[in-house]
Amino acid sequence: MSSSSARKNFTPASAKVPIGASAGTDDVSAPSPSSLTIFTPAGVLLSAAPLRLAARRLKGLGFDVSLDEAVLARQQRFGGDDATRLAAIHRVARAAPAVALASRGGYGMTRLLDQLDWTLLEQSIERGTRWVGYSDVTALHMGLLAHLKAGNHPLSWAGPLAVDDFGRAEEDGGLDEVTPDCFVEAMNGELEAVGFRTEVGFDGLDVTGRLWGGNLTVLMSLLGTPHWPRVKGGVLMLEDINEHPYRVERMLLQLHQAGVLGQQKAVLVGDLGGWRKSPMDRGYNVKSALAHLRSVSAVPILTGLPFGHVPTKVCLPMGVKVQLVVDGRDALLAW
Check residue 31 and give its pLDDT: 53
Which residues are designated catalytic?
135, 239, 309
d(CA 40, CA 68): 8
Looking up residue 81, the CATH number of its domain turns out to be 3.40.50.10740
For the chain, how many structural domains are there in total? Answer: 2
Range of the domain at 298: 193-334
Please indicate, yes or no, whether residues 44 and 123 belong to a single structural domain of this protein: yes
Please indicate, yes or no, whether residues 69 and 138 belong to a single structural domain of this protein: yes
Looking up residue 260, the CATH number of its domain turns out to be 3.50.30.60
Q: Beta strands of the chain (E only): which ranges?
A: 35-39, 64-67, 99-102, 130-133, 156-158, 193-197, 206-215, 235-239, 266-269, 301-303, 316-318, 321-327, 330-334
Please indicate, yes or no, whether residues 142 and 13 belong to a single structural domain of this protein: yes
Please indicate, yes or no, whether residues 151 and 215 belong to a single structural domain of this protein: no
Please indicate, yes or no, whether residues 28 and 150 belong to a single structural domain of this protein: yes
**Tens of pLDDT along the chain (335 residues)?**
444 433 333 333 322 233 333 444 444 444 556 999 999 999 999 999 999 999 999 999 999 999 999 999 999 999 999 999 999 999 999 999 999 999 999 999 999 999 999 999 999 999 999 999 999 999 999 999 999 988 778 999 999 999 999 999 999 999 998 999 999 999 999 999 999 999 999 999 999 999 999 999 999 999 999 999 999 999 999 999 999 999 999 999 999 999 999 999 999 999 999 999 999 999 999 999 999 999 999 999 999 999 999 999 999 999 999 999 999 999 999 99
Check residue 10 and give its pLDDT: 32
Q: Which of 187, 222, 246 corresponds to the end of one domain?
A: 187
pTM, entire model: 0.89
